Amino acid sequence: MIERVLQTLVDVVSVGGLYALTALGIGLIFGVMRLINFAHAQLIMMAGYAILVLFSQSVPLAIAAAAVVAILLALGTERVVFRPLRDADPATLLIASFALSFFIEKTMIMLVGSRPKGVDFLPELARQIEVAGVRLQLLQIVTIAVSGALLIATTWFLRSTKLGLEMRAAAENFRMAQVLGVRANRVIAVAFAMSGILAAAVACLFVAQTGLVQPRMGLQLVVIAFVGSVIGGLGSLPGAALGGFLVGAATILLQTLLPAELRVFREVFLFVAVALVLLLRPQGLIPAPGLKARV
């Protein structure tokens, strides 16, 4: 029994961590640009393909390539698609991100086909290890460790560096931050680069978990993580991480606790829970401070 509980707990934390990283990547961009970037899914997907191409040569090289590809794609889409729309209203930005997301996904389907490709990435992590008498998958421990480390690193960056301070100010009131001398291009580029790094980390963990790469990967992660960041409080980074974590955790708990015949309807229960949270706290669990009038 204890073993079952502990295993479920590790499941919950590792899946929750993956969604928290995804939600944080989305939240960083929303914070500085009020853009809900659905193309975040394609950052994860392209990083996945970078792993597919290089994993058989060298694992560190594949991880580095995943990061470089995701960062460059994030910066490139910012420059080409989102910068010209910077003063557009959030609805325009949202639709642009949908268009971009479809464009990259369909282009990849055209180039490599839509069939999933198997990737035997980090097979050694599939090994079970015994911790205090409980058998756990090593990959889950790694997922928890990486998620935790990246959440801490992001928090440190935002709290303790000059650029992090500028990003938090820009997230609360971009115009006033600019009046004080904060450069919009720099802050936004850093946010995109960070979202690229987070997407690459999610891609590595997700590919190691599923062993598959396909043009549609990432979309489900991003949709669920987005729902999580709404629950947590759009525009609030702790809220995004917490909401992403809770939604990821809830899927695992529902999977475990629901009777077998109801498990197919897991998402229904999840979204009912989401609707309830939003009924009670429409502004999210940790509301953002700055979603009000600008200068």
Partner 1 sequence: MIGAGPVLEAKPDRRALVSVQGLVVRYGPITALRGVDLEIGAGECVAIIGPNGAGKTSLVSAIAGLVRPAAGKVVLDGLDVARIGLADVVRSGVALVPEGRNIFGSLTVAENLRLGATPRKDDRIAPDIDEIFQRFPILGQRRSQHAGQLSGGEQQMLAIARAMLSRPRLLMLDEPSLGLAPMVVDGVYELLADIKQQGVALLVVEQNATRAFGLADRVSIFGHGAIQLSGAPDAIAADTNFDAAYFGAAYADRGAPA
Residue 78 engages partner 1 in binding (rule: CB under 8 A): no
Are the C-beta atoms of residues 18 and 205 closer than 8 Å to each other? yes
Which residues have C-beta within 8 Å of that of residue 87, sequence separation ≥ 6?
none
Residue 165 engages partner 1 in binding (rule: CB under 8 A): yes
CB of 286 to partner 1, least distance (A): 11
> Which helix (H) or strand (E) segment is 134 a member of?
strand 134-137
Among 1, 260, 264, 295, binds partner 1 (CB under 8 A): 295
Are the C-beta atoms of residues 187 and 163 closer than 8 Å to each other? yes
Q: Which of residues 179-218 bind partner 1 (CB under 8 A)?
A: 179-184
Among 176, 189, 278, 285, binds partner 1 (CB under 8 A): 176
Identify the CA nearest to 140 among candidates 279, 230, 9, 272.
9
CB of 76 to partner 1, least distance (A): 22
CB of 33 to partner 1, least distance (A): 16
CB of 34 to partner 1, least distance (A): 16
189's tokens: 């580029």
CB of 188 to partner 1, least distance (A): 12
Among 175, 216, 263, 281, binds partner 1 (CB under 8 A): 175
Among 83, 98, 125, 172, binds partner 1 (CB under 8 A): 172
| CA atoms of 202 and 25, how far apart (whole Å) | 10
Residue 89 engages partner 1 in binding (rule: CB under 8 A): no
Specify the stretch interacting with partner 1 by CB under 8 A; choose among 3-11, 132-140, 147-155, 172-180: 172-180
Q: What's the CA dihedral at 55, 56, 60, 61 to 10 degrees?
A: -80
Are the C-beta atoms of residues 292 and 34 closer than 8 Å to each other? no
Q: Which of residues 235-294 bind partner 1 (CB under 8 A)?
A: 289-290
Which residues have C-beta within 8 Å of that of residue 278, sequence separation ≥ 6?
230, 231, 284
Residues near partner 1 (CB under 8 A) are: 162, 165-166, 168-169, 172-173, 175-184, 289-290, 295
